[in-house]
Structure formats: C-alpha cells, structure tokens
Amino acid sequence: MLASGPMADAAAAPRRPALHDRHVALGAKLAPFGGWEMPLQYAGVVREHTAVRERVGAFDVSHLGTVLVRGASAASYVNSTLTNDLGRIAPGMAQYTLCCTEDGGVVDDLIVYLRAEDDLLLVPNASNVAEVARRLAEGAPSGVRVEDVSGSYAVLAVQGPRSDATLEAVSLPAGHPYMSFVDTARDGVPVTVCRTGYTGERGYELVLPAADAGAVWDALLAAGAEPCGLGARDTLRLEMGYPLHGQDLSLEISPVQARSSWAVGWAKPVFWGREALLAERAAGPRRVLQGIESLDRGIPRRGMAVSSPDGGQVGEVTSGTFSPTRQVGIGLALLDPAVEVGAELTLDVRGRVSRVRVVRPPFVESSVR
Amino acid sequence: MLPQELRYTPQHEWVRDGGTVRVGITDFAQDALGDVVFVTLPEVGAQVQAGEPCGEVESTKSVSDVYSPVTGTVTARNEALEATPELINSDPYGDGWMFEVEAADAGQLDGLLDADAYAAQTGAS
C-alpha cells in the first residue's frame, strides 16, 4: 500500500529544496527540473565540471525521490519487480536497476539501497518517483509497505578526487567500497553515505533529513567542495556515457536498446518486462544506443538526425553536449544496429553537415573506483 | 551596469558606432547562454541583412543565432574567438566583440534601443 506521498504536479508551483536560500545566496541560476526548482549552475558549467574532475564538487540533488519499501518480504518483492538481481548484492550495498513496463519500456532508472531484507531505500528520478511508487504499491503483497517520502530527505552528492578528504573533514565516513553505503550519525543527524555518483569520479551521495541538510552543506563547502549545479552534472554524466531517463532511456527506449542489459538480472524467474525484454534480446534490438564524437565543430544536440556518408538516415541523437574535458562535441545516439563502432557518420547541425565518429563510451576514463 | 554609449537590439546584441559598426552580445545574453564554447561568424566581405541570422554562438547547453543589427558589408571579425570563445563570457562589451559592419544606411542605427530602453526590456537597472 502507498502509505503517503507528495504527488508531483507539473502544473503546480515548483518545489524548492531545503537549501534553496543557500543556493540563491551563492548566486545560483535556478531552473525547473522534474517539478523542482534546482540550481543549474553557480560559477559556470565548465568551471564546476573541472572542479569535479580535478578537485571536489558538491551537488544538491534533493529533487531525486526517496521511497521506502519495508516489511518482511520487501527485498524479494522488489527483486521480483525491478530488473537487476538483488541476489548479486549483500545488505549494505546499493544497486543500479530499472523499473520497466511489461512491454519492456523503462518507467525509470533508479538506485536501490539494500539495508536489510526487510528495509530498502529507493532513489528514483524526480519526474518518475510518483509512478514508480504507484506501481510498487499496487503490486505489493500484504506486509510490504511502499512509502514515498520524497522531499523529507535531502540528497547531496560529493564528487571528485578529493571527496574522501572532504567527507573526513566534515566527520563523515569515507573509503568504503564502490556502491556500498554506511548509515551513520553526524551531530545526532542520521546520514546515509553511499559510494555512488553520476559523474564518473570517485564520490559519495549523502541521504539525510531535509531539515538538517543546511549544516552538512555548509560544512562541505567550508571543507573546500565547490557548489555544482545540474548543468555540470549533465556534462559529467555524458562524458561517462551514462544514460539520462527521458532522453536515452524511456518508455520507448528499452534497456536492450540502451545497452543497459548489464542492469537486468536475466536469470531471474520474474521481473517486470521480463518476457518482452527476453524476446527483444533474442531477436536483436532494432536500434542501439552508441556514443558519437564530433570530428569538427558541430556539437550533437538531442533530436539531430544521424546519417551515413551516402545520406541515408541511420539514427537520432538522444543527448549531446560539448565535452569540457575533451574539448569536442559528444553525444549518445540511437543507431541502426548494423552501424559499427569506428564508423564515420554525419550529423545534420541546423542544416549543415557535420562529421562524427561512432565510439564506445565512456568519452573520458572513469575513476569511480 | 549597461554601457550607456552603446545601442542595443531586442536580440540582446550591442552595437558600437565608430565609423564602422561593431557588434557583440550583451552581458545579459552571455549570462543566459552560459559558457560559450564555439562561435561562428560571417566572413569578412559578406553581405549581411538587418535582423537576419549571420552566425551562431554555442554554449555547453544550447546554441543561439547571431543577428546582424544593420544591413551592410562585414569589414572585420574577432578572430580571437576561434581559440578563446570564453572572451564573450569574460568581457562581452570589450574583447568579446564579434564582428564589424560597414552600414549601408547609417540611419538604421537610430532604430536601435538605447541603454535605458534595453534595460527596461531585460528588467535590469
């Protein structure tokens, strides 16, 4: 049963994170995002991007949802619905997984924190948390409670090579293995510290009561973390080739197409979308998400047509940006499966022909471990 | 903090009249665009039409057309923007200038906004 939950309403005034006044005081440019008003940038996307690659940055990502799934068979229930195999991880570990429809479309991609067999925390995207919670609540057996507590918790990401030192400086645990988390307390405030992130750098995501987020945020900045917005978060994730739900993964773009099959527990007897995804995998996807890299000054942008040199269209860009690290245009594109890595294709950049090469992401070497 | 001696367009460009017409984008525009990564400018000698796109300025997040504020012939372009497009962010009214036009009809400048009118448009002071 869905115990409670603030339902996102796109038409309503945007929700503001607990740190809103601090963002304004820091000079942030704010933008609507998934029903929230969040910092897009402070000092500038490139500077913030570079801070994360070379030093350490702090992001307020409190627009991310928080859903508690609790009760005796909570873990086995979640494992019978979401795609990834919770049997691969032990309590104290988090896992990237997908919530699919029965026809294999992706409702959302999310992180599951396995606290215990009867206690899980799910972190879906802002736009999709209500739908993920609704689906889980609808199918939940008696004894499993699904509670959307989005907004009650703040989520802060601390990312970059200096993230361990930054956490230690604010009296939070650091150094635990990638994708593991520690439930701790700081000045009496419960904080979950997870070795996760969306940047490709070593880093952590902190989940804590929203009312207590200000003190932790202030301490992180005082320890040298530079405030970073969603603009840099997007260029950082795209350099890693991480898909963004709503662009590179969606109800129309399955995990088989998005090359996210690694997040599907194929051997599991049951999960949402299993039959459709098995059939698609066996038949071969009709299109595949690939990386593209500009060979000239054209920057791939979402929706641009991708064509073979003889002029036939072979796909479409789903995400694109200028890579601050590589100083070239990069993107993700859904392409005909016959297109091979290394192929040279062309991009329609507002009527001009621009050349790109198909590459296997990441565009920048990952340092998460 | 708008330079009072410049004229402005509704497309957030500034115009400096000094024999030829020098063109750039305003501080408001560079702030809205974010980090500029590529600039495409008209060639020297190109004929440009008032209000028509003649180039592009691209940031990490988006791309915008550059319009010519007057009709005329391009006499210069800021080649430094090829290697250092970030000059548009750091010094939009100075080293971040974009191109110069010899106006066919100097009277066209009178139709542009003065600093107060542009400030009213952007809500700036």
- Digit-coded pLDDT (tens) for A46-58: 999 999 999 999 9
- Overall fold of domain A287-359: Elongation Factor Tu (Ef-tu); domain 3 (2.40.30)
Which of A321, A347, A354 should be substituted to probe chain B, the one whose Cβ sees the most B Cβ atoms within 10 Å? A321
Among A303, A300, A312, A310, smallest CA distance to A347 is for: A300
Please tell me the distance from the alpha carbon of residue A127 to that of residue A218, in angstroms, as a whole number: 27
Give B-chain residues touching A29 at CB under 8 angstroms: 31
Give B-chain residues touching A297 at CB under 8 angstroms: 38, 40
* Interface contact flag, A322 B34, Cβ < 8 Å: no
Per-residue pLDDT, A308 = 97
| Gap from B17 CA to chain A (nearest CA, Å) | 31
CATH number, domain of B18, equals 2.40.50.100
* Interface contact flag, A235 B38, Cβ < 8 Å: no
Residue B102 belongs to domain spanning? 7-120
Task: Burial-class residue B94 by CB neighbours within 10 Å (0-12, 13-18, 19+).
Answer: exposed
Per-residue pLDDT, A306 = 98
Report residue B19's pLDDT band, with 50, 70 and 90 as the boundaries.
confident
* Interface contact flag, B38 A322, Cβ < 8 Å: yes
Tell me whether residue B125 is in a domain.
no
Same fold, A20-64+151-240 and A287-359: no
User: What mean pLDDT do residues B42-60 have?
Assistant: 95
Tell me whether residue B105 is in a domain.
yes
Per-residue pLDDT, A11 = 57
Tell me whether residue B108 is in a domain.
yes
Mean pLDDT, 10 residues at a time, chain A of 369 residues: 43 89 97 96 96 98 98 98 98 98 98 98 98 98 97 98 98 98 97 97 98 98 98 98 98 98 98 98 98 95 96 96 96 97 95 95 94
Report residue B18's pLDDT band, with 50, 70 and 90 as the boundaries.
confident
User: What mean pLDDT do residues B25-36 have?
Assistant: 94
* Interface contact flag, B35 A44, Cβ < 8 Å: yes
∠ CA A225-A226-A227, nearest 5°, is 115
Please tell me the distance from the alpha carbon of residue B88 to that of residue A44, in angstroms, as a whole number: 13
Per-residue pLDDT, B62 = 86
Q: How many domains does chain B have?
A: 1
Tell me whether residue B2 is in a domain.
no
Tell me whether residue B1 is in a domain.
no
Sequence spans of domains, chain A: 20-64+151-240, 287-359
Give A-chain residues touching B40 at CB under 8 angstroms: 297
* Interface contact flag, A45 B63, Cβ < 8 Å: no
CATH 3.40.50.300 fits domain A20-64+151-240 = no
Per-residue pLDDT, B123 = 78
CA distances from residue A138 to A83, A84, A125, B25 in whole angstroms, order as listed: 17, 20, 19, 54
